[in-house]
Chain A
Amino acid sequence: EVQLVQSGAEVKKPGESLKISCKGSGYSFTSYWIGWVRQMPGKGLEWMGIIYPGDSDTRYSPSFQGQVTISADKSISTAYLQWSSLKASDTAMYYCARSRGSYWYFDYWGQGTLVTVSS
Chain B
Amino acid sequence: DIQMTQSPSSLSASVGDRVTITCRASQRISNYLNWYQQKPGQAPRLLIYTVSSLQSGVPSRFSGSGSGTEFTLTISSLQPEDFATYYCQQSYNTRTFGQGTKVEIK
Chain A residues engaging chain B, CB cutoff 8 angstroms? 35, 37, 44-47, 50, 61-62, 95, 97, 103-107, 109-112
Question: Which residues in A have their C-beta under 8 angstroms from that of B32?
Answer: 103-104
Decide if B45 touches A103 in the complex (CB within 8 Å): no
With A45-B87, A62-B1 known as contacts, the answer to whether A109 contacts B95 (CB < 8 A) is no
Main secondary structure of the interface of B (DSSP, over half): loop
Interface with A: B10-18, B19-27, B96-104, which one?
B96-104
- Interface positions, chain B 59-106, Cβ under 8 Å from A, are 87, 89, 91, 94-100
The interface size of chain B toward A, counting residues with CB under 8 Å, comes to 23
Contact B49 A105 (CB under 8 A): yes
CB pair B94–A105 under 8 Å, yes or no, is no
Which residue, A97, A103, A110, A111, has most C-beta atoms of chain B within 10 A? Answer: A103
Please report the C-alpha to C-alpha distance between residue A76 and residue B34 in the assembled complex, in whole angstroms. Answer: 30
B87 & A44 in contact (Cβ 8 Å cutoff): yes
B44 partner, pick from A50, A62, A109, beta carbons under 8 A = A109
Chain A proximity of B58: nearest CB distance (Å): 11
Residues of B within 8 A of A45 (CB): 36, 38, 44, 87, 89, 97, 100
In the complex, chain B residues whose CB is within 8 Å of the CB of A105: 34, 46, 49-50, 89, 91
